[in-house]
Amino acid sequence: MKFAIYLPPDSEGKKNPVIYWLSGLTCTEQNFITKSGAQKYAAEHNVIIVCPDTSPRCNIPGEDESYDFGTGAGFYVDATVKPWNTHYKMYSYVTQELPEVIHANFPIDPEKQSIMGHSMGGHGALVCYLRNPGKYCSVSAFAPICHPSQSPWGRKALTGYLGDTGDAGIPDEWKKYDATLLVAKFDGQLADILIDQGDSDEFLKAGQLTPEKFVQACKEAQVPVILNMREGYDHSYYYIATFIEDHIKHHVKYLRS
Q: Which of 201, 247, 250, 251 is catalytic?
A: 201
- Is residue 234 among the annotated active site residues? no
The Cβ of residue 192 has, within 10 Å, a number of other Cβ atoms equal to 14
Count, residues in the chain: 257
- Is residue 235 among the annotated active site residues? yes
Q: In sequence order, which residues have a C-beta less than 8 Å from that of residue 166 and are 6 or more positions away? A: none
**What residues does 70 pair with on adjacent strands?**
73
Q: Which of 235, 247, 250, 251 is catalytic?
A: 235
Q: Which of 119, 138, 140, 151 is catalytic?
A: 119
Cα–Cα distance, 221 to 164 (Å, whole number): 28
By DSSP bridging, strand 16-22 and strand 48-52 are parallel
- Is residue 201 among the annotated active site residues? yes
Q: In sequence order, which residues have a C-beta less than 8 Å from that of residue 40 and are 6 or more positions away? A: none
Cα–Cα distance, 164 to 21 (Å, whole number): 29
Active site (catalytic) residues: 119, 201, 235
